[in-house]
Amino acid sequence: MRGIEIDPDAPVIDEQYAVVHVPRRSRDRVPEGSVQVMASAEAARAAADPARKQYAARVVGPSRSSEGLRLYYIVEWLD
């Protein structure tokens, strides 16, 4: 993905499945604290709870932002 600098000190820098807590799904990147990495797409879908604003997604990261935050980038929302 263009413009993303992967954090070389991060334990995992591949695409992963996760449950992401966000106010709305229009965001393309989220802070590390809003992401719960899951073992599979099925596990992420099962743990998602849209009523609590927790959505299943395929993510890449973490990446360190220019402000020093660790971010995950949303590759795809899983429905």
User: What is the pLDDT at residue 54?
Assistant: 97
At 43, is the secondary structure helix, strand, or coil? Answer: helix
Neighbours of 32 (CB within 10 A): 16
User: What is the pLDDT at residue 79?
Assistant: 83
Least confident of 4-8, 18-22, 31-35, 48-52: 4-8
Q: Would you kindly state where each structural domain of the chain is located, as residue ranges?
A: 15-77
In angstroms, rounded to a whole number, what is the distance separating the alpha carbons of residues 54 and 51?
A: 7
pTM of the model: 0.80
Would you place residue 18 in the very low, low, confident or very high pLDDT band (cuts 50, 70, 90)?
very high
Would you place residue 14 in the very low, low, confident or very high pLDDT band (cuts 50, 70, 90)?
confident
